[in-house]
């Protein structure tokens, strides 16, 4: 009896390992095939007035106002959309605008949406065009399953754009009983640079099978008199790592990073360690409590190494921290959708807004410093108190976290 039981375990383990290896092979080849035709896109710079929102209530309040004022088009992609109170207010607003003749398009990641079929039917009946982004395909099936459109892109009349970490749902208002208060960072851009968000939304919409789209006539000139203060990076996979390493290597005074998930690869870790060793002040803010507990153990060994090299790490205590921000030398900033984890740096479609504006960089740094006041500084002692199971999981290979 015991022998059969052991044989069953061995066979099950063999099947599981074989499945994982096949999946990983398919994903690796899918990455190669997709990135050949989708290289990293770094746009020309444009001008924009910039507003920063770091609470769900301020983000939704201003987004809903802009939607109400739209008279030509409302194009929105979220990674996640819930089917809850704030989302239904959002849906009703979109239907009202569609009925008034505005071109309203709503895209959501194929696996990220909780929208019920009845809600989608209601939206479509009301004139809203709804599309699920990055559907599963037979070619590189495992890759298409894990390759997600993680961008959040909003284009309103081609003059206003939003980009950042918030999705659509009550949890982003701090109403999730497990996570509590939700801190995030999102930008509102008004000006010529908003056109680039419009263009990327259109590219994604067409790729996802939504058909051709017409642009509206923007009031903003395509040529700015001066060099713009904003440009964007739209990426899929590894090229974003190379750009991030370049930014860190160029830092002279400071690097401030916030991210909800911190599992950087060796190149990024080396760049951070080198920066700290040459005297750059490196501050990294991550949540203490997370919505993805399995991302914490593999980050421990990385954090210990960084602490030894003089990097400052802070654990946010007020609630859940979801912002994706980097500020370099108090001079410029990157706000976007990419996390510091294998999915964002290897699999997902991401969007980053690069802001060459000292005032905005200073404001972001001021807000992050306030968040650091709501955090605890990580020390070596914290690693001595870890449960045994978390110590074991520290040794999990990073590539496994592509699939969570």
Between 23 and 336, the higher pLDDT residue: 336
Between 390 and 206, the higher pLDDT residue: 206
Class of domain 47-210: alpha beta
Judged by average pLDDT, the poorest of 4-8, 32-36, 48-52, 84-88 is: 4-8
Query: Is the pLDDT confidence value at 328 over 60?
Result: yes
Domain map (residue ranges) of the chain: 47-210, 231-403
Residue 225, pLDDT score:
47
Residue 228, pLDDT score:
85
Query: Is the pLDDT confidence value at 361 over 90?
Result: yes
Q: Work out the mean pLDDT of the chain and round it to a whole number.
A: 90
Per-residue pLDDT tens over the stretch 98-119: 999 999 999 999 998 889 999 9
Query: Is the pLDDT confidence value at 402 over 70?
Result: no
Residue 10, pLDDT score:
76
Class of domain 231-403: alpha beta
pLDDT band at residue 372 under the 50/70/90 scheme: very high
Query: Is the pLDDT confidence value at 389 over 60?
Result: no
Q: Same fold for the domain at 47-210 and the one at 231-403? A: yes
DSSP state letters, 223-239: S-SS--SEEEEEEESTH
Contact 286, 257 (CB under 8 A): no
Query: Is the pLDDT confidence value at 221 over 60?
Result: no
Q: What is the pTM of this model?
A: 0.92
């Amino acid at each position: 009896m015991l022998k059969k039981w052991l044989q069953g375990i061995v066979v099950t383990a063999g099947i599981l390992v074989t499945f994982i290896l096949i999946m990983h092979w398919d994903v690796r080849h899918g990455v190669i095939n997709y990135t050949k035709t989708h290289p990293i896109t770094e746009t020309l710079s444009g001008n924009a007035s910039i507003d920063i929102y770091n609470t769900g209530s301020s983000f939704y309040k201003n987004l809903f106002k802009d939607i109400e004022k739209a008279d030509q088009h409302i194009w929105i992609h979220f990674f996640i959309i819930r089917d809850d109170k704030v989302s239904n207010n959002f849906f009703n607003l979109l239907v009202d605008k569609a009925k008034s003749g505005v071109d309203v398009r709503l895209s959501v990641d194929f696996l990220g949406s909780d929208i019920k079929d009845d809600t989608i039917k209601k939206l479509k009946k009301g004139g809203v065009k709804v599309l699920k982004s990055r559907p599963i395909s037979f070619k590189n099936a495992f890759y298409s399953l894990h390759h997600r459109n993680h961008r959040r892109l909003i284009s309103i009349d081609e003059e206003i754009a939003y980009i950042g970490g918030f999705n659509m749902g009550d949890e982003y208002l701090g109403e999730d009983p497990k996570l509590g208060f939700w801190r995030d960072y999102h930008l509102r851009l008004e000006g010529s640079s908003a056109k680039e968000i419009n263009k990327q939304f259109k590219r994604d919409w067409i790729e996802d099978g939504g058909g051709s789209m017409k642009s509206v006539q923007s009031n903003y000139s395509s040529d700015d008199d001066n060099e713009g203060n904003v440009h964007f990076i739209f990426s899929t996979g590894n090229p974003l790592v190379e750009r991030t390493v370049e930014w860190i290597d160029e830092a002279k005074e400071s690097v401030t990073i916030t991210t909800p998930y911190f599992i950087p690869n060796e190149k990024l870790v080396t760049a951070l360690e080198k920066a700290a060793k040459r005297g750059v002040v490196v501050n990294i803010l991550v949540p203490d409590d997370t919505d993805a507990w399995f991302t914490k153990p593999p980050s421990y060994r990385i954090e210990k190494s960084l602490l030894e090299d003089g990097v400052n790490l802070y654990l946010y205590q007020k609630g859940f921290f979801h912002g994706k921000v980097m500020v370099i030398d108090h001079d410029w900033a990157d706000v976007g959708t990419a996390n510091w984890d294998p999915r964002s740096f290897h699999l997902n479609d991401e969007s980053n807004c690069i802001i060459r504006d000292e005032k905005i960089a200073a404001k972001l740094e001021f807000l992050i410093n306030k968040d650091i006041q709501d955090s605890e500084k990580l020390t070596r002692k914290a690693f001595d108190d870890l449960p045994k199971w978390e110590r074991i999981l520290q040794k999990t290979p990073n590539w496994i976290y592509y699939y969570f």
